[in-house]
Amino acid sequence: MCILDFDQHWGDGTQNIIDHLQGESQIVHYSPTGEFGRPGRAEGFLARIPALLELFQGCDLILYQAGADPHIDDPLGGWLTTDQLYRRDRTVVEELHRLGIPVAWNLAGGYQRDAAGSIRPVLNIHDNTLVAFVEAWGQTASAGAHYQEKEAA
């Protein structure tokens, strides 16, 4: 089993899986925050995703923690823009499809609120992940249909 953890923080659930399966299964795990988790390294991280996914060859399934909390406006994150998160997810799905590795996507993280206290900013990020999956698998969503922040006037 493999866990691709692109959430901002090391998860207790991830650790529980690793602890439970220790010795029963080979586990490959990767989380980028320690290596890349700063805005100045975001583009380097995005460029490196295909090479990182090569580490997962031979996995029969990848559990993908598609964290929303690395978003630049997240109070507990702060290094990827909305577009960069979309590109992260699109690249992950395209590369795993190319490698022939099935993926189960998990909603993860996200602590932003809008002015009214709604979690809509987090849901927009998760919506983008869904659009990235649909587009990468050649379904009906149109390219560029993902949510983007409005630029300040």
Confidence (pLDDT) at 137? 79
Look up residue 49 and give its two tokens.
């995703």
pLDDT attached to residue 77: 86
Domains and CATH numbers, the chain: 2-136 (3.40.800.20)
Angle, CA 78 vertex, CA 117 and CA 151 arms, to 5°: 70
77 vs 6, 8, 30, 137, CA distance in Å?
A: 12, 6, 17, 29
Whole-number Å distance between alpha carbons of 73 and 17: 29
Question: What is the model's pLDDT at position 153?
Answer: 39
Q: Residue 28: its pLDDT value, please? A: 78
Give residue 49's pLDDT: 96
pTM: 0.86
* Predicted pLDDT at 136: 86
Task: Write out the DSSP string of 83-113.
Answer: HHHHHHHHHHHHHHHHHT--EEEEEE-----
Would you state the pLDDT for residue 112? 96
Consecutive 10-residue averages of pLDDT for the chain (153 residues): 85 81 75 88 96 92 93 93 96 94 91 96 95 79 55 42
Determine contact, residues 31/10, Cβ cutoff 8 Å. Answer: yes
Looking at residue 2, its pLDDT comes to 87
CA dihedral 15, 17, 21, 23 (to 10 degrees): -20
